[in-house]
Amino acid sequence: MSKEKIKLNISGMTCVNCSNGIERVVGKMKGLESAKVSFASNEGEFFIDSEVLPKEKLIQKIEQLGYGVEEDLKALEQSKQKAYNELARVFFLSACIAAIMFVLMFFPLQNIQANHYLMFGLATVVQFYAGGRFYTFAYKALKNRNYDMNVLVALGTSAAYFYSVFVVFFPSIFPENLRFLYFDGAVVIITFILLGRLLEERSKAKATDFLKKLMDLAPLNATLLCEDGSLKTVLASSLKIGDKVLIKTGEKISTDAVITKGSADIDTSMITGESMPVYKTMGDEVIAGTLNTTGVIEVEVLKESKDTTLSKIVALLSTAQSKKLPISRYADKVANIFVPAVILISVLTFFVWFVILGDTLSAILASISVLIISCPCALGLATPIAIVSSVGKGAREGILIKNPEILELIKDIKYAVFDKTGTLTTGIISVKNALYEEEHLDMLASLETQSEHPISKAVVNFAKDKNMPCNKLFDEIKIIAGQGIVAPYENKKVCIGSLGFLQNNDVKIEEKYMNFYTQALSEGSGVILASYDNQCVGVFALEDTIKEGAIELIQNLKAKNITPILLTGDNQTTANSVAKKLHIEKVFAQVLPDEKYKVIIELQKEAKVMFVGDGVNDSPSIKQADIGITLNSGSDITKDAGDIILINNELNAVLKSINLSIESMKIIKQNLFWAFIYNAAGIPLAAGVFFPLFGVMLSPMYAGIAMSFSSVTVVLNSLRLKFKRI
């Protein structure tokens, strides 16, 4: 036995039933160990015995089912984009024709026969061109023994369309009072179902964009240090373990490596979430994709490009993307029972009227009436119209819902996991409090204006808030990466930086400053000290400010029995300090992206998880979580990975998202309830069950009216979302 794992990119899937159908059919093939097909990512993972089942035979079987198998991700993306563009074009055509038919219905041509022919022509285009996909998908579904919405749409619209065709071309076979047209009904059904499909496909059309952008974070080229001391520009992907690479100021780290010469401040926020650059020197490891903000360093490659931390993030994202969402597709589930039942009732109706009662015309009309009244307009509109209303309501509240399917999940979350930097905090360093000699503050801030470091900017802003001009001039300024800044002023030395930096410059530090320094550290603050003429003249405690609305959000989540969790790459002391202010009891600190990802997976074993973040380092967790929410201020990669984007960056929109989900699901369930109530009441009438007792029988005309009324009810009910307060 020769076991082999095969991954295939599968195009042409339109719903979860497609992926289920592929799994079921290929699962019967001899030599297949297991099959897992994801509708969300268009990927299939198969374990086969290649001696019994060649890869080519597996691909051939999938293609026979009507799906495409693409060679690579690029081909799959092109196929998906082409399908999306085609769907958009077909919907636009169908919508335009629907509008024209409404005009013809209310303002018909003087020549009624010409009006009928024109409506027939327009409806035919929609039925077999725009709606042709439903016939194709219905055939696939029936072939795989699925009775989904496609079958229902094809069946119902065909009944309305062909009844109308016979009325137009063979009117004599119908009594005059039964010569009604239902072309407009068939066209509207197809148009709105296409709208629902378009909304669904929009979130999938660019599903892998974030992976491409993430891979672009790693620099394409690297400066290789040759053995003879010369420099050579090479592809970063060609670097081998042990190669020496030069990283200049402003350049990204080529691959995971260790510093062998020099030191620098490294911006690691995209990987670890640290709000401040981290000082790295000889012997310290650096990660691919992080940014060298100061200094020049030489590094020795520890990992090839395919094994770096950044590559692991890409792999985690790909895995998270391919997971199946536990979405309950109410209409499709019910349709599996409803469709066969409608067909059976229609056949039985015809049999009773034709064979038992001997009334051929009533047999035809009654069986057609059953199909028309069960036409899935309301059923098909129940979910997409509610989703349209939800997405629109969310947009007005600053909530961009990229993946409407998560509306079903948000209401069920148990854990709300938050990144710290940039999400619950502003990500902007500020001076929390300070102990200093006021006469020296302007001088110290003036020196800090010569540096672009976030800490320097915090001190400058602090001084400006104290109305300091910060315009004193300095010469011979020396910035030492990871330590501080030093320069002479009026023949006296000025130093600003870490405790070790000042001690190395023989600065005397009074007890009051040391006590302040120790206290600030214990509270989780960053601290810098400043001196003039070898005497400490100031200590500044630094913090990442809590965002407005963060405390209220945590309180409201707790009120809904949702447990808030802080998950950050920042150090434990700082994380605990922020968590204490926000009243968050559960904290995971000093975690890398792959560790964040694992935490999410562990939490998902217990309940539904929502993750809110804004950095590249959060993207795997955002994608893995049941609901991923990102801020509009976050990176493009993170926004692509998220299900929801908070356009106005307001944290209270997280709570609004939950409330919107609850209201949306109420509306959808109400819509489905009313859609089936109409069918439950109308089908017996259409079949003539009450005719022997009351002489009442629902004609195709009234069946059409009932069908339309149910649709209007569903639409109006969905529009209530616009006026809901969330």
Active site residues: 419
Cα 691 versus chain centre, distance: 53
Q: Count CB atoms within 10 A of the CB of residue 194.
A: 25
Give the strand pairing for 43-49 and 3-11: antiparallel
Token pair, residue 92, equals: 């636009």
Q: At what angle do helices 330-351 and 360-373 cross, to 10 degrees?
A: 170
- Strands across the sheet containing 43-49: 32-38, 43-49, 3-11, 68-70
Rounded Cα gap, residues 442 and 473, in angstroms: 11
Alpha-carbon distance of 253 to 273, in angstroms, equals 17
Dihedral sign from CA coordinates of 548, 552, 558, 562: negative
H or E element, residue 21: helix 16-26
CA–CA distance, 243 with 240 (Å, rounded to integer): 6
CA distances in angstroms from 426 to 540, 547, 565, 603, 721, listed in the order given:
19, 6, 18, 26, 32
What is the Cα–Cα distance from 245 to 303, expressed in whole angstroms? 13
At which residue do the structure tokens 């997976």 appear? 601
DSSP 52: T
Q: Residue 247 forms beta bridges with which residues?
A: 297
List the one residue out of 531, 457, 425 whose CA is nearest residue 293.
Answer: 457
The two structure tokens encoding residue 327? 């979405």
Task: Give 34's strand partners.
Answer: 47
Cα separation of 117 and 591, whole Å?
69
CB-based contacts of 79, cutoff 8 Å, min separation 6? 11, 12, 68, 70
Q: Nearest 10 degrees: CA dihedral of 225, 226, 230, 234?
A: -70
Residue 243's SS3 state is coil
DSSP class of residue 516 equals H
Query: What string of H, E and C letters represents the secondary structure of 414-441?
Result: EEEEECHHHHHEEEEEEEEEEEECHHHH
C-alpha span between 426 and 414 (Å, rounded): 26
Instruction: Quote the longest CA-to-CA distance of the chain.
Output: 117
How far is Cα 185 from Cα 512, in angstroms, rounded to an integer? Answer: 83
Alpha carbon separation from 470 to 339, 528, 600 (Å, rounded): 77, 18, 47
Q: Please count the CA atoms within 13 angstroms of the CA of 532 that sit on its side-chain side.
A: 17
Question: How far apart (Å, rounded) are the C-alpha atoms in residues 481 and 282?
Answer: 13
What span, in angstroms and rounded, lies between the C-alpha atoms of 157 and 149? 12
Please give the structure tokens belonging to residue 177: 């009072």
